[in-house]
Amino acid sequence: MKLLNGCATVIPGVLPQEKKGKKLLSYIAILPGQLTQRGLEGDFGVLLRVVPCMEEQFLQLGDVLIKRLNPDCAVVYEGNAKQVIPSANVFVIRPKVELDSCYLAFLLEKSKLIQRISQLSGVGTTVAAVTASQIGGGTIPLPPLAQQRELGQLWHLAKRKDELLRSMIFENDRLLRALCGKLFQ
């Protein structure tokens, strides 16, 4: 077992800095609502700042994204847009060389690591909020990298299979409704 902050860097999302009368820099931002069980969906947001973002705040391939409030899924960033940043309610977990991104996302979702971290927050409301130190303080098993990659790929394939099954069920229902509609013509 190893502390997550020993094999990954947790980067908080970027806060906007809107000030009247100042020239603002515009950044493409990932919003919490875009993080779903199916992956990254929807339109990017725009975040305005007076101060430029630091280089480490820009997303990189393989970064793992989770929501700060009510975290329920982990998304591996596979985008190719340049200079995309996480908004304030998104955390980036950037794996170091000994940790595979898909394996980390698998652990966050399937081992209920996200839930355990959010339960540690001590929040007494229905909104679970996590902090960077709570995420970094989570412990994970760290098998050899080859085994991590295998488990991560299985997780990735299982997510794809779930998406295909949902699509097949939707199309089957649509077909049955169309056939039923023809009966009443």
- Domain 2-183 is in which class? alpha beta
Q: Please give the angle made by the CA atoms of 102, 104 and 105, to the nearest 5 degrees.
A: 65
Which helix (DSSP H) or strand (DSSP E) does residue 109 occupy? helix 101-110
Cα 176 versus chain centre, distance:
35
What are the pLDDT digits (tens) for 44-103?
Answer: 999 999 989 999 999 999 999 999 988 888 999 998 777 899 999 999 999 999 999 999
| Contact by Cβ (8 Å): 55, 88 | no
* Whole-structure pTM value: 0.84
- Tell me the mean pLDDT in the region 102-121: 79
Cα 72 versus chain centre, distance:
9
pLDDT at 117: 72
